[in-house]
Amino acid sequence: MFSLQFVIEFLGTFAFAISGIRSASSKNFDWFGGYVVGLATAIGGGTIRDVMLGQVPFWMTNSIYLICTGAALLTFVMLKKLFTRLSKTWALFDTLGLALFTIAGIQKTLEAGFPFWVAIIMGCITGAAGGVMRDVFVNETPLIFRKEIYAIACIIGGLVYQLCYMLNLSVEVAVVSTFVTVVVVRLLAVKYRISLPVLKDPDLWK
């Protein structure tokens, strides 16, 4: 039960749930609405991954993930003033969830016997899809499509994981290296507002 995969998914669930609940609070959702948004953020990407891999979604075999989201909601309610003062807190938790779920997606895909290029894609989906659901629920254009480097951080992290694998480094080293890479890339993108070129309406070129 307390495997590395479980620990990563549990921590990622808590981090992403906080991120979703923080976004819901900015729209004045009630507690139930906050829980729903937090849960969708936390399990959305992993659910899509597991369905695509032909497996039972991870949260359907262990209720701890639903309980974890509830704990995240209570934590947010009790520390609401702190979260309000720290306006960038949601971005931090979102980044942590992004890194943790990217790793979880890669590892689960490799364990299922798929090649590395599929694992990187699944890592990206696991990390980013929950955030897309969160933004849709709070009526925002998904962050992945409109702002700083986001999904690209997952891909870069996946390439680092593959490099560690090719060098025959331990799983622990691969996990830590990937986590640090995704977090650093994402935080640097936020700090320096690094983003991909924006597609513009051709009519605006005239």
Domain assignment present for residue 103? The answer is yes
Has residue 201 been placed in a domain? Answer: no
Q: Does residue 200 lie in a domain region?
A: no
Mean pLDDT of 146-172: 92
DSSP designation for 149 = S
> Does some domain include residue 68?
yes
pLDDT score, position 1: 41
The verdict on residue 167 lying in a domain is yes
- Which structural domain range is residue 29 located in? 4-194
Q: Give Cβ neighbours of residue 141 (< 8 Å, ≥ 6 apart).
A: 135
More confident residue, 175 or 201: 175
| 199 within a domain of the structure (yes/no) | no
Single-letter residue type at 14: F
**pTM attached to this predicted model:** 0.89
How many domains does one find in the chain?
1
Burial class for 85, CB neighbours closer than 10 Å (0-12, 13-18, 19+): exposed
Tokens in use for 166? 């090719």
Q: Is residue 109 part of a domain?
A: yes
CA–CA distance, 196 with 156 (Å, rounded to integer): 14
**Per-residue pLDDT reduced to its tens digit, 48-62:** 999 999 999 999 999
Distances (CA, A) of 157 to 6, 10, 15, 28, 205: 19, 19, 18, 34, 36
Q: For residue 165, is it within any domain?
A: yes
What is the Cα–Cα distance from 120 to 102, expressed in whole angstroms?
Answer: 8
Question: Mean pLDDT throughout 180-186?
Answer: 95
- CA distances (Å), origin 106, targets 28, 70, 158, 197: 35, 26, 7, 27
The region of weakest confidence among 24-33, 86-95, 100-109 is 86-95
Q: Is the pLDDT of residue 178 over 50?
A: yes
